[in-house]
Structure formats: structure tokens, C-alpha cells
Amino acid sequence: MTQADFERVHDGERVTFVLRGAFDRNCAWRLRSDVEREVGELVVLDFTGAPEISDLGLAVLAHGLTRARHRVLCRGLAPHHLRVLSYCGVAVEASGAREGTSAPVPVGPPPSAVGPGSP
């Protein structure tokens, strides 16, 4: 399997991270670090180029997403992967979590972390 990597594409207020190769925990740590440093209002994580996605890698990424300061959308994740994010405390909107859809799925901090006084 091809070593995982990603490319950052900036387009106005949106930053897209396009993943390629098998998404593993090493790639997840690098991606998590870059997403946490991002200052844009919208971050899109595009997994469509990742033929293999590690649950452990998703768990590593998820813990960073629970503290995201911006809106995060995921594209190219199967329902199983969305459940893994949900199990790790990431709020996943069910509207985009249908089988076979390539539409981005909004993810972010759990609802209890969002409210008055939240950053």
C-alpha cells in the first residue's frame, strides 16, 4: 500500500487537506497537527484518495477534531468511519452520512462543548 500523505489546498476561507495512500496513525498525527494550527473558517478533509483508512488513525484525528476552532467537513468516509469518529466524541451530522455519498459530512466538537462562552 502507498505511504500516506496529504496536500494542503487553500481557496479563500476554505482549506482542503487532500489525502493520498493508506491513512494510518502516523499520517493522522501529522494531519491532526496541521488541522489544529489552521486559522481558516472551514477545513475540508478529503479522504477520497485514501483506499485504506485505519480506525486507530481516525481515533488520533478525532481527538484533535473535538477541540476544533473551525468548521470541519469530511469527504470520502464510509459509514463505519463516521461511527468511529462518533465513538471518539466527534459530532457527526447524520444528514451526510449515507452510504455511497461523496458529499462532505460536517464533524466537530461534541454538542456539550459548544455553547455560550465557547471559543
Q: What was the pLDDT predicted at 27? A: 95
Its CATH architecture, for the domain 5-107, is: 2-Layer Sandwich (3.30)
Q: What was the pLDDT predicted at 57? A: 96
Q: What was the pLDDT predicted at 101? A: 45
pTM (predicted TM-score)? 0.79
Residue ranges of the chain whose pLDDT lies below 50: 95-102, 113-119
What is the distance between the alpha carbons of residues 39 and 97, in angstroms, rounded to a whole number? 26
Q: What was the pLDDT predicted at 119? A: 46
What is the distance between the alpha carbons of residues 102 and 57, in angstroms, rounded to a whole number? 20
Within 10 A of 61 (CB to CB), how many other CB atoms are there?
27
DSSP state of 99: T
Q: What was the pLDDT predicted at 99? A: 42
- For residue range 69-84, what is the model confidence (pLDDT) as tens digits? 888 899 999 999 999 9
